[in-house]
Amino acid sequence: MNGLDVDEHHRARIVETARSWIGTPYRHQACRKGVGCDCLGLVRAIYQEATGRPAEQPAPYQPDWAERTGTDRLIEAALRHCGEPVPFTLARAGDLVLFRWRAGVAAKHAGILTGPDHFVHAYEAAGVIESALVFSWRRRIAAIHRIPCPIPY
């Protein structure tokens, strides 16, 4: 594997997959590369490709779902599919990053870390882009999770 261990290879593939979505337009509840996706559709597709496991299909949701339900559905799903969160100090490229807009509200945005200072996400105003993980994003991080390795065949 060109000198990479299995974990590094897995992470490199996740980052490559995430970056292959850049330029996809933003479409609420969608999950099709080049056609449209929202942040949840993006991370679901990357999870499925990275793990070989089917991604959980969410029930239909409105743009304000997090404010309406009060439940932390993104955090709950990340725990089910990726296990316990990792501390920010141990975050690595290929990790799932979840954001909450302010304290006390549910996490509502998701992306994939591509390095210590960047992440790929689907953003309503711009579609799928790679953004710098600047202070305004860092302070909103709710959790970071490792995407598991593929199912062995």
CATH code, domain with 92: 3.90.1720.10
Res 138: pLDDT: 97
- Over residues 37-85, the pLDDT tens digits come to 999 999 999 999 999 998 888 887 777 666 666 678 899 999 999 999 9
Note whether residue 153 is domain-resident: no
Q: Looking at the domain assignment, is residue 79 inside a domain?
A: yes
Tens of pLDDT, residue by residue over 122-134, are 999 899 999 999 9
Neighbouring CB atoms inside 10 A of 111's CB total: 27
What are the counts of helices (DSSP H) followed by strands (DSSP E) for the chain? 5, 7
**Does a structural domain hold residue 141?**
yes
Q: Is residue 151 part of a domain?
A: no
68 part of a folded domain: yes
Domain containing 70 equals: 6-145
| pTM assigned to the model | 0.92
* Residue 21 belongs to a domain: yes
With a cut of 90, say whether residue 19 has pLDDT above it: yes
Total tally of structural domains belonging to the chain? 1
Q: Considering only CA atoms, which of 8, 25, 21 is closest in space to residue 48?
A: 21
Q: Strand 118-123 and strand 109-115: pairing?
A: antiparallel
- List the structure tokens of 101: 């807009």
